[in-house]
């Protein structure tokens, strides 16, 4: 295993120096159009893909559920995508920037949604939780993690507001699964499943000209978040993620990768190697931190020493737990509970 190649230092080849301006598109491969939508986070954009068929457009991912995204979609079909109608939506995974607007898109344009079973289930698990249930689940998660009560309070208030929002959710879906071939405009896109970032992320690979719509599974410059979820505290998502990266590494070395964030790139194998080595380094750091008994919250300050806002803190804690659970499941550290139910990790 190579060491110490930081993900942001991977030498990759970016064929486009800039992303498309808002409400314009770039055709990155035959019939594959790249658009961008804004996100209201520090990561301020998502890439979406619009695939051309003779009788309409296949949309890959929906964008975030906001009035701004709705307006942009509506205008796009009167401007750059005028002349044909949307005919199908495929969502790579359930996260709100990818599937958040799926309900609105399928309803507004009367189109079907395709996604995997686990992503459909995960989307509805989150969208059906009552605000009080979210607070209860998150409180328990934070207690297990040993998070301070003021940090908890700010986040729980935010979550209660978020989960109380009215949303249009998709009512039906067509299931896709690993190795399915989806024919679009006479060419097959093969479903490649990624795990660890999301439960059953559907990346789409067109072997004909070696194009991969990677979702969040492989991103340039960013290490995709891999988190223990509040409802699966014993899970080992980092192992799932690393294992699925090995499967993606069997795709051709000269694949054009179309990621959901940042810029399209060549260098799939190098990028996968760098992501794996990044996690191996973090595992080393986590193991060293466990020389003394440690809570997940304290380990988070070791793995993420920079200041984190509340949104980032949840991901950092989840990702730290993912590294600790990996070591625990691998028998390198122990995990016990103190009298208040907080997990205490310790090197064996």
Binding site for Zn ion (CB under 5 A): 95, 216
Strand partners, 35: 48
Which is nearer to Zn ion, 33 or 95 (by Cβ)? 95
Which is nearer to Zn ion, 99 or 299 (by Cβ)? 99
Which is nearer to Zn ion, 47 or 295 (by Cβ)? 47
Which is nearer to Zn ion, 304 or 315 (by Cβ)? 315
Q: What secondary structure, in 3-state letters, does the chain show? A: CCCCCCHHHCCCECCCCCCCCCCCCEEEECCEEEEEEECCCCCCEEEEEEEEECCEEEEECCCCCCHHHHHHHHHHCCCCCCCCCEEEEECCCCCHHHHCCHHHHHHHCCCCEEECHHHHHHHHHHHHCCHHHHHHHHHHHHHHHCCCHHHHHHHHHHHHHHHHCCCCCCCCCEECCCCCEEEECCEEEEEEEECCCCCCEEEEEECCCCEEEEECCCCCCCCCCCCCCCCCCCCCHHHHHHHHHHHHCCCCCCCEEEECCCCCEECHHHHHHHHHHHHHHHHHHHHHHCCCCECHHHHHHHHCCCCCCHHHHHHHHHHHHHHHHHHHHCCCEEEEECCCCCEEEEEC
Min CB(51)–Zn ion separation in Å: 20
Min CB(92)–Zn ion separation in Å: 8
Min CB(1)–Zn ion separation in Å: 25
Q: Report the alpha-carbon distance of residue 251 to residue 269 in Å, rounded.
A: 8
Min CB(3)–Zn ion separation in Å: 27
Min CB(244)–Zn ion separation in Å: 14
Which is nearer to Zn ion, 95 or 279 (by Cβ)? 95
Min CB(218)–Zn ion separation in Å: 12
Min CB(314)–Zn ion separation in Å: 14
Which is nearer to Zn ion, 216 or 236 (by Cβ)? 216
Which is nearer to Zn ion, 95 or 276 (by Cβ)? 95
Which is nearer to Zn ion, 202 or 274 (by Cβ)? 202
Q: Report the alpha-carbon distance of residue 78 to residue 309 in Å, rounded.
A: 38
- Are 188 and 204 contacting, i.e. CB atoms less than 8 angstroms apart? no
With b meaning 16 or more CB within 10 Å and e meaning fewer, what string describes 222-239? Answer: ebbbbbbbbeeeebbbbb
Min CB(99)–Zn ion separation in Å: 9
Which is nearer to Zn ion, 91 or 297 (by Cβ)? 91
Min CB(123)–Zn ion separation in Å: 12
- Are 221 and 270 contacting, i.e. CB atoms less than 8 angstroms apart? no
Min CB(145)–Zn ion separation in Å: 21
The dihedral formed by the CA atoms of 160, 165, 166 and 172, expressed in degrees to the nearest 10: -70
Which is nearer to Zn ion, 146 or 230 (by Cβ)? 230
């Amino acid at each position: 295993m190579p060491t110490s190649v930081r993900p942001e230092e991977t030498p990759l080849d970016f064929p486009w120096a800039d992303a498309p301006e808002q409400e314009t598109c770039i055709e990155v491969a035959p019939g594959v159009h790249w658009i961008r939508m804004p996100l209201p986070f520090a990561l301020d954009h998502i890439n979406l893909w619009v695939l051309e068929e003779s009788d309409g457009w296949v949309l890959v991912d929906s964008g975030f559920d906001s009035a701004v995204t709705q307006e942009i979609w509506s205008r796009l079909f009167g401007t750059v995508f005028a002349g044909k109608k949307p005919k199908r939506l495929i969502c790579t995974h359930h996260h709100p920037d990818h599937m958040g607007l799926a309900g609105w898109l399928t309803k507004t344009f009367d189109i079907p949604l395709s996604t995997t079973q686990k992503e459909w289930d995960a989307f509805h698990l989150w969208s059906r939780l009552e605000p009080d249930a979210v607070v209860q689940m998150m409180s328990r998660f934070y207690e297990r993690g040993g998070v301070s009560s003021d940090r908890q309070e700010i986040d729980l208030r935010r979550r209660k507001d978020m989960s109380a929002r009215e949303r249009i959710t998709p009512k039906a879906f067509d299931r896709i699964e690993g190795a399915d071939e989806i024919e679009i405009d006479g060419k097959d896109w093969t479903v490649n499943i990624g795990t660890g970032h999301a439960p059953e992320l559907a990346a789409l690979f067109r072997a004909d000209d070696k194009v991969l719509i990677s979702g969040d599974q492989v991103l340039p410059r960013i290490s995709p978040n891999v988190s223990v979820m509040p409802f699966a505290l014993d899970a080992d998502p980092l192992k799932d993620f690393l294992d699925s990266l090995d499967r993606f590494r069997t795709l051709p070395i000269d694949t054009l990768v179309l990621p959901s964030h940042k810029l399209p790139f060549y260098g799939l194998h190098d990028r996968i190697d760098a992501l794996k080595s990044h996690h191996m380094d973090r595992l080393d750091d986590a193991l060293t931190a466990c020389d003394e008994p440690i809570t997940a919250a304290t380990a988070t300050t070791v793995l993420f020493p920079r200041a984190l806002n509340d949104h980032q803190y949840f991901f950092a804690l989840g990702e730290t737990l993912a590294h600790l659970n990996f070591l625990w499941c691998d028998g390198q550290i122990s995990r016990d509970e103190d009298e208040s139910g907080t997990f205490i990790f310790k090197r064996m």
